[in-house]
Amino acid sequence: MGAAMSEPILVMNKVGKAYSAAVPILRDVSFSQAPGEFVAVVGPSGCGKTTMLRCIAALMQPDQGEVLHLGQQFGDPPPWLSIVFQDYNRSLFPWLSVRQNVGFGLRKIDRRERDERVEQALSAVNLTHAADLYPWQLSGGMQQRCALARSIVVRPQLLLLDEPFASVDAQTRIDLQDMVMDICKKMSLSTLLVTHDIDEAVFMADKVVVLSTRPAQVVEQIEIDLPHPRDQLTTKESPEFLRLRHRVYTLVRHQAQKSAAAHTEREDQ
Ligand SMILES: Nc1ncnc2c1ncn2[C@@H]1O[C@H](COP(=O)(O)OP(=O)(O)OP(=O)(O)O)[C@@H](O)[C@H]1O
Ligand SMILES: [Mg+2]
């Protein structure tokens, strides 16, 4: 595979991070991502997934180890990296229309090209009809599509998605999964998705990275070789999907049980 042989878009090399010395959050987190690869990261609630994304985006520097983008370290968030945050309510600018929100990252680009790219991004997320509305006039799913359009319009080399579908209803979530997978494949984006949802991780990703309880470590990396295009019904009914889902589910449940046991132990003390 060509992609596997070229330089990884992202290398996490024994990354460690703590907010205070007493509570390590990440410990020796190591994995890599090839260009064009879709990686999903799953792990127990509070294990450090968002912290890991902050380190990847250079919003924070790790205490140990290194984060390399195409072989380089960055002190500030590189301009070719986009994030869709867990809490989209707070990520859109309420005083800007959908079109202005989407074009925000292209302010320095020639007007004609900017308009063209914004319209393309709006169309990719089916928001053309809502371009002149403001975030508070949109449903949750539409707000998240707006955040997604804003993140892909800059044609990122790496797209980071932190639980992007966490606060929408089940049907909207499924529609958004299909939409994101479709966009990522069409644009050959390298995407890193953090999610609690094991079905979602296996359905969307080329590789699933399972994290342990805090301090987070990589428990296992599982290649997802399900063929594309993937379909919500036929892919999810295939024996291969069920086998992979079973594997990831078992690993995550094991971590959750360890986490519950640790809590009980603390409460008993
Ligand atoms: N800025 C901060 N200062 C101090 N502690 C923090 C900070 N941000 C997060 N933490 C703590 O670090 C731990 C990991 O948080 P983080 O948000 O990375 O986990 P997560 O896996 O993304 O959680 P969730 O599944 O709820 O999204 C938590 O115990 C949290 O309280
Ligand atoms: Mg989080």
The structural domains of the chain, ordered by start, are 2-80+156-268 (3.40.50.300)
Ligand 1 atom having least distance to the Cα of 163:
27
Centre of ligand 2 from the C-alpha of residue 162, in Å:
7
Measured over the CA atoms of residue 165, residue 170, residue 176 and residue 182, the dihedral's sign is positive
Look at ligand 1, atom 8, and give the residue with the nearest C-alpha: 51
Tell me the ligand closest to 56's alpha carbon. 1
From the number of C-beta atoms within 10 Å of its C-beta (0-12, 13-18, 19+), residue 114 rates as middle
Which residues are found with C-beta within 5 Å of the ion, ligand 2?
A: 49-50
List the chain residues with pLDDT less than 50. 1-4
What is the pLDDT at residue 2?
Answer: 45
What pLDDT, in 10s, does the model give residues 54-79?
999 999 999 999 999 999 999 988 88
Q: What is the DSSP string of 104-133?
A: GGGTTS-HHHHHHHHHHHHHHTT-GGGTTS
- The pLDDT value recorded for residue 221 is 98
In the block, which residue shows the tokens 């991004």?
A: 121
- Residue 266 has a pLDDT of 67
Helices 140-152 and 111-124 cross at an angle (nearest 10°) of 140
Instruction: Give the Cα separation of 33 and 69 in Å (integer).
Output: 10
Atom of ligand 1 nearest to the CA of 196: 25
